[in-house]
């Protein structure tokens, strides 16, 4: 039996929470094809890393991307709240998003 992405997320929930806590993630939400498709090619996440100096922000952003790709074995796209400036994209994300982690 093939696991769906929702099954994978559930199976990796503890590791996902540990990664987010270690990197100081405030909030992580899934959106895009992974919400509708059982086996998407990639995963789209909306992430809130909070306010921090640029070097710390970059380290957390790229560290999270790497760890999520390793955890799920597929490409990951990370979008921050600042990346939601297009109102149509923002509305789409807000309609689809599923909360995975909140500090």
Contact 12, 71 (CB under 8 A): yes
> Would residue 62 count as lying in a domain?
yes
> Would residue 57 count as lying in a domain?
yes
Q: How many domains does the chain have?
A: 1
- In the prediction, which pLDDT does 58 show? 96
> Would residue 1 count as lying in a domain?
no
Distance of CA 41 to the CA centre of its chain: 14
Range of the domain at 98: 8-102
SS3 10: helix
The sign one gets for the Cα dihedral 97, 33, 38, 71 is: negative
Task: Compute the distance between CA of residue 38 and CA of residue 4 in angstroms, rounded to an integer.
Answer: 5
Output the tens digit of pLDDT for each of the chain's 103 residues.
467 888 889 999 999 999 999 999 999 999 998 888 777 889 999 999 999 999 999 999 999 999 999 999 999 999 999 999 999 999 999 999 999 999 9
Tell me the CATH number at 76: 3.30.460.10
43-48 vs 27-31, strand pairing mode: antiparallel
């Amino acid at each position: 039996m093939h696991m769906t992405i929702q099954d994978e997320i559930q199976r990796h929930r503890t590791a996902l929470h540990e990664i987010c806590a270690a990197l100081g993630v405030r909030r992580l939400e899934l959106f895009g094809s992974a919400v509708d498709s059982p086996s998407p090619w990639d995963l789209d996440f909306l992430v809130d890393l909070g306010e921090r100096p640029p070097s710390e922000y970059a380290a957390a952003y790229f560290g999270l991307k790497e760890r999520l790709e390793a955890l799920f074995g597929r490409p990951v796209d990370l979008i921050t709240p600042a990346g939601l400036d297009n109102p149509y994209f923002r509305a789409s994300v807000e309609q689809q998003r599923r909360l995975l982690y909140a500090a």
